[in-house]
Amino acid sequence: MGTEPLRDMGRGVIGGFRTARLCDAAVVVEVAMSLTLLVGAGLLMHSFLALREVNLGLQADHVFKTMLRLPPDRYKTAERVSAFVRPVLERIKAIPGVTDAAESSSVPPNNSRDSKIEISGKSP
């Protein structure tokens, strides 16, 4: 008869030497995974902050942006929307100090996927 059963009994009632090694290994794996996630989160944050500093080639200073929500039942087609927006843009361009005015369905760099664009003769 070997000494293996006696060795396992030396650790007490909880589970013995093999169970303790398994628990130690689990703790090491958990710490390693935590460190990996922490480093990954740090790198993601660093990349996000670096992206905020990228020059997009646009000068956004002295730019005014607003959103017009037109009633969809009155402005169902692009022609009706354009007929409304054209005079508004002309009035805005006539304001002293305004260099230019334009309309857009989305503003860079935040192009939205749900913008509705109509092209004459094409289905949506």
Note the pLDDT tens digit of each residue in 44-94: 999 999 988 888 777 777 788 888 888 989 988 888 988 999 999 999 999
pLDDT value for 95: 93
Whether the predicted pLDDT of 111 surpasses 80: no
Q: Hey, what are 123's tokens? A: 């289905």
Residue bearing tokens 């009633």: 71
Note the pLDDT tens digit of each residue in 18-44: 777 888 899 999 999 999 999 999 999
Whether the predicted pLDDT of 11 surpasses 80: no
Higher pLDDT, 105 or 70: 70
Q: How confident is the model at residue 10 (pLDDT cuts 50, 70, 90)?
A: low
Residue 83 Cα distances to 10, 35, 68, 87, 123, angstroms: 89, 59, 14, 7, 21
- Quote the CA–CA distance of 122 and 124 in Å, as a whole number: 6
Residue bearing tokens 């396992």: 8
Q: What are the E-state strand segments in the chain?
A: none
Q: How confident is the model at residue 124 (pLDDT cuts 50, 70, 90)?
A: low
